Structure 1
Amino acid sequence: MDIRQLRHFAAVAETLHFGRAAERLNMTQPPLSQSIMALERELGAPLFIRTKRSVALTPFGEQWLVHVRAVLGGLSGLPEIARRLRDGEAGPLELSFVSTADYSVLPELVRQYAALYPSVRIALREATSEVQIAALLEGSGHAGIVIPPANGALPASLRYRRLLSEQLVAAVPESWVGDGRLPLQAGRLNPAVTVQAPLIIFPRHSAPAFHDLVTGYFTAHGGTARIVQEAIQMQTIISLVSAEMGIALVPASLRNLARTGVRYIDLAGAVPSLETGIVWRRDDLTPTLNRFLQVALGGQHAA
């Protein structure tokens, strides 16, 4: 059977008249009757009870009509589905992100995008920048929110745009401020005090740009980072600060991660900034990704 036969059956079933059904279908009655008979032979059961005065559906025909209408209804929706897929209003979007983005650009960005394109299936995955870049180069995922390499160098097959640049602040045990171990000057933490404190940080192999930015701050102010603990999850780092294992230098947006026993303090002097941006494959700008980039980049050209 083919779609044409299903339309023939539906027209006759809805009119219960071969002549009126033929008019609706812009065809003559004999080929319509032949089409229905061929369909019945293929199905192995009659669809209609025919008399000289009337046409009625058989019980089998009544039951099958429900399924035929569902199929035809689905077919009528295919052009609109195709348009939505073509225009990026439906389909999948696989997005990875660094843990710091979870407290800065990611929530609002995803909220805006999902509100504009609710039919897109968004799959989110947290990963370090290095893991995200490697996955994109292997053809996995659509885009990643990353901390770019310190030298700005990315493989030629990838494109990158900055989303955010924010200063670092110190996440410190609140008790260390209260007992004088971390004295403040005008509400800020002096570099001379900062570089003497034990440090909790991302391991360099997981976040080299972030690691070098933090340790570079210590070096720039005449100190050497005394790393007491490493962790790849920002939540874990803040938990370790809460446990009074040391301090951490984190993006200012981490103030959104409130934790008992942790205080966020501005740094005095020249304060380093951490950049966060979005990266994707040059040759793989899918419709959903194109829409996402329009939201993320404020309408800037992404191609």
Structure 2
Amino acid sequence: MELRSLHYFIAVAETLHFSRAAERLHIAQPPLSQQIQRLEKEMGVQLFERTKRSVRLSAAGEVFLQEAYRTLAQAEQSIHAARAADRGEIGRLALGFVGSSAYGMLPAMIQAFRERFPQVELILREWTTVEQVQALHKEEIQIGFVRPPILDATLHHLTVQQEPFLVAVPVKHPLATSSSVSLSALADDPFIFVPSKLAPGLSHQMMDMCLQAGFQPRIAQEAIQFHVIISLVAAGLGIALVPACIRTFQRPDVVYLPLQDSTIQAEIQMVRQRAGHSVVMHNFLDVVKAHTTEAQNRLSF
């Protein structure tokens, strides 16, 4: 049964007049009558009761009219859904992210994407950089937000955030009231680091900063989540080097101090496979690139 047959049937059912229905459909009356007869023969029921003076729906026709309405509405909805999918307006996208990226630009990117594409299902998974690289290869996620470096030539990466490191110290630390501090002045303090096995990029950056300042840090504690690290700082277990975005996590017993002598930047990179991109992914990449460009422009002023 063709959808055209349903349109023809509905036109006759609503007008109860073959000539007026033919005018509405912009066809001649004989082909319309033949189409209705073929439809009745195909279904094996009489849809209309005809006399020389009138046309009315049969009991079967009354039921079929309601089903025809529903069928055409469903067909129209299917067409709209297919077109929306083709534009990337519906679908699914799985994202991985390191916990610290939630303090930076990632929430704004996700919010902007959801405002533009509210029907796309976003799956968010907080994983370490190492776990995200593995998940990308297993196709468990399509995009990851990680801490570099990523030594994997099969993945494409884009820097979406750069920021200086700060040092977090307890509020009772002797240098807590300083406007800034030299890292070398903290050489004797115990440090809280991220574990190198789980966050090798950040761990190596923190170590390099200390070595460039002329000392080997004494690592007293390790933690992978920055809110845990800051809590350990507040407890007086050590000081910590943290990306600048972490200062949004405010505590009255922790002070964030700028560093005087370090140019090393903390980065967030977006990584993805080089091939196999869906329209949904392209739409998300456009949002990310727009936010990255805006951030770069703000830094340039």
TM-score when normalising by structure 2: 0.84
* Residue aligned with 2:290, SS: coil
Q: Which amino acid aligns with 2:41?
A: A
Task: Indicate which of 223, 232, 256 corresponds to 2:248.
Answer: 256
Q: State the 1:71 CA deviation.
A: 2.7
Residue 188, structure 1, aligned to residue 184, structure 2: no
Task: Name the CA distance, whole Å, in 1 between partners of 2:258 and 2:88.
Answer: 42
The question of whether the paired residues in 2 share the 8 Å contact of 1:98 and 1:128 is answered with yes
User: Are the structure 2 counterparts of residues 50 and 170 from structure 1 closer, same or farther at C-alpha, using a change threshold of 3 Å?
Assistant: farther
Q: State the 1:50 CA deviation.
A: 4.2
Residue 241, structure 1, aligned to residue 244, structure 2: no
What are the superposed Cα offsets for residues 107-163 of structure 1, whole Å, 9 maximum, x if unpaired? 1111222222233222222111111111111222221111121xx53232x211111
- Which stretches in structure 1 are left out of the alignment for 5+ residues? none
What are the superposed Cα offsets for residues 248-292 of structure 1, whole Å, 9 maximum, x if unpaired? 211101111123422211122124211111111111221111121
Map of 1:145 onto structure 2? 145
User: Are the structure 2 counterparts of residues 64 and 189 from structure 1 closer, same or farther at C-alpha, using a change threshold of 3 Å?
Assistant: farther
1:34-183 superposed matches below 5 A: 34-38=37-41, 40-41=43-44, 47-58=47-58, 61-149=61-149, 153-156=151-154, 158-174=155-171, 176-177=172-173, 180=174, 183=175
Q: State the 1:103 CA deviation.
A: 0.8
Q: State the 1:80 CA deviation.
A: 4.0
The question of whether the paired residues in 1 share the 8 Å contact of 2:170 and 2:239 is answered with yes
Map of 1:12 onto structure 2? 12
User: Are the structure 2 counterparts of residues 196 and 65 from structure 1 closer, same or farther at C-alpha, using a change threshold of 3 Å?
Assistant: farther
User: Are the structure 2 counterparts of residues 60 and 129 from structure 1 closer, same or farther at C-alpha, using a change threshold of 3 Å?
Assistant: farther
What are the superposed Cα offsets for residues 207-263 of structure 1, whole Å, 9 maximum, x if unpaired? 100011112222222322322322222222222223332222111011111234222
Moved more, 22-31 or 262-271: 22-31
Map of 2:33 onto structure 1? 30
Task: Indicate which of 207, 217, 220 corresponds to 2:212.
Answer: 220
The question of whether the paired residues in 1 share the 8 Å contact of 2:169 and 2:176 is answered with no
Task: Name the CA distance, whole Å, in 1 between partners of 2:62 and 2:240.
Answer: 71
The question of whether the paired residues in 1 share the 8 Å contact of 2:170 and 2:176 is answered with no
Task: Indicate which of 282, 287, 291 corresponds to 1:290.
Answer: 282
Q: State the 1:196 CA deviation.
A: 2.2
Task: Name the CA distance, whole Å, in 2 between partners of 1:258 and 1:185.
Answer: 16
Q: State the 1:49 CA deviation.
A: 4.4
Count of residue pairs brought into register by the alignment: 289
1:190-209 superposed matches below 5 A: 190-209=182-201
- Which stretches in structure 2 are left out of the alignment for 5+ residues? 293-301
The question of whether the paired residues in 1 share the 8 Å contact of 2:9 and 2:36 is answered with no
TM-score when normalising by structure 1: 0.84
Task: Name the CA distance, whole Å, in 2 between partners of 1:202 and 1:71.
Answer: 59
